[in-house]
Amino acid sequence: MRLRDTTVLVTGASSGIGRATAAELSRRGARLLLTGRDRSRLTEVAERTGAAQHLADLADPASLAELASWAAEHRPAVVVHNAGIGLAARTEKVDDSQLDALFRVNVLAPMSLTRALLPGMRAGGGGHLVFVGSIAGLLGVPEEAAYAASKAALHRYADSLRAELAAERIGVSTIAPGIVETAFFERRGTPYARRFPRPMPAARVADAIADAVEHDRAEVVLPRWLRFPVLLQAAAPNAYHALARRFS
């Protein structure tokens, strides 16, 4: 799908992957609708990219409903569901309010926005949905069980939509990045402390998102070598988990 002169909504656009995606899509000639929680940062990104903006908190149902109404009026042909929050803690330390916020932002908000915007895509003759997941949603991560579960739910939702919308000229892509150089780890309260794998720049993920739309790619795993453990887990789960315990 061509991005030039196409209206694209990007959630979580005020920083990190969303900010980089807005810049990349603008470079490719898209007309942008941006949303995020940080007013000053969102305004800065919008001014740099010539985008329309709408401040929203996806964990708040009322704010989400207002965003959905605003976006529907602009009828984006492409939606990049990028907004997400993290949570790192042992399972027994996670409380219900944390779980509620996690699933509201990472799962329920993308589902609600998709339902609200699909009619406009159909009326426009097609479109594309991008869901920014995580390698955690494909492999699981110790002490991030709830976060991994939320991203796994997003991946399965996207897979199901892809089959459901196949005959309607509406593409669906999932992007599963590994470690990315963003403020994600600071916001979740636990820094990234491993030497390997090394974090990749957000611009690399942004380029993959744009490429997935233009070439209708179903699933992109970044960096590419992470595809190997995903395939190993699917083909030989016992071997995968044995190796994961050894090298974790």
Is the model's pLDDT at 241 over the cut of 90?
no
In a domain? residue 2: no
Residues 22 and 132: their CA atoms lie apart, in Å, by 14
Neighbours of 52 (CB within 10 A): 16
Output the pLDDT for position 244.
Answer: 81
**Mean of all residue pLDDT scores within the chain:** 93
CATH of the domain at 220: 3.40.50.720
Report the number of distinct structural domains present in the chain: 1
Average the pLDDT over each of 66-80, 118-132, 172-186 and give the range with the smallest value. 172-186
| 242 pLDDT tier (thresholds 50, 70, 90) | confident
Overall pTM surpassing 0.85 (yes/no) = yes
In a domain? residue 222: yes
Distance, CA of 14 to chain centre: 14
Between 242 and 203, name the one with better pLDDT.
203
Q: Which of 147, 157, 192, 240 is catalytic?
A: 147
Q: How many H-runs (helices) and E-runs (strands) does the chain carry?
A: 11, 9
Average pLDDT over residues 131-148: 94
Output the pLDDT for position 189.
Answer: 63
For the question of residue 147 being annotated catalytic, the response is yes
Residues 3 and 80: their CA atoms lie apart, in Å, by 12
Output the pLDDT for position 187.
Answer: 67
Output the pLDDT for position 188.
Answer: 62
Between 32 and 143, name the one with better pLDDT.
32
Output the pLDDT for position 196.
Answer: 66
For the chain, the farthest-separated pair of C-alpha atoms sits apart, in whole angstroms, at 52
| 195 pLDDT tier (thresholds 50, 70, 90) | low
Average pLDDT over residues 37-41: 96
Tens of pLDDT along 172-188?
A: 999 999 988 866 666 66
Whole domain around residue 172: which residue ranges?
7-247
Would you state the torsion angle of the CA atoms of residues 71, 25, 77, 172, taken in this order, to the nearest 10 degrees?
Answer: -110
Is the model's pLDDT at 89 over the cut of 80?
yes
Through-space distance between the first and last CA atoms of the chain, rounded to whole angstroms: 39
In a domain? residue 98: yes
> Which among 61, 21, 52, 56 has a CA at the least distance from the CA of 38?
56
Is the model's pLDDT at 246 over the cut of 90?
no
Is the model's pLDDT at 191 over the cut of 70?
no
Is the model's pLDDT at 142 over the cut of 70?
yes
